[in-house]
Amino acid sequence: MIGRTILHYQILETLGRGGMGVVYKARDTHLDRFVAIKVLPPEKVADPERKLRFVQEAKAASALNHPKYYSPLRHRGGGRCAVYCDGVRGG
């Protein structure tokens, strides 16, 4: 994924991996800012239960309003099940 573009987000590096997916640091090429993108791998998108949990996580996170928590911008795009979040420090 590094070096690829999803919608208008250029994938720069991997920030972490977990049971629900992979989190990447990306640059929003429209607004010239850094974001985090959590992507549910294709094999997990095929599992309706995993996909539902992923979307529920995005909805729960979007209800939070605190500087220590991320705020999802969207939960789909580029043909993938992904959560796009702002607030990633640049560089």
pLDDT digits (tens, 9 = 90+) for 16-30: 998 778 889 999 899
SS3 labels along the chain: CCCCEECCEEEEEEEEECCCCEEEEEEECCCCEEEEEEECCHHHHCCHHHHHHHHHHHHHHHCCCCCCCCCEEEEEECCEEEEEEECCCCC
pLDDT tens digits for range 29-57: 998 988 888 888 877 778 888 888 888 88
| Residue 54: closest CA among 24, 76, 27, 26 | 76
What is the pTM for the complete model shown? 0.73
Are 52 and 58 in contact by the 8 Å Cβ rule? The answer is no
- Note the CATH number of domain 5-86: 3.30.200.20
What was the pLDDT predicted at 14? 95
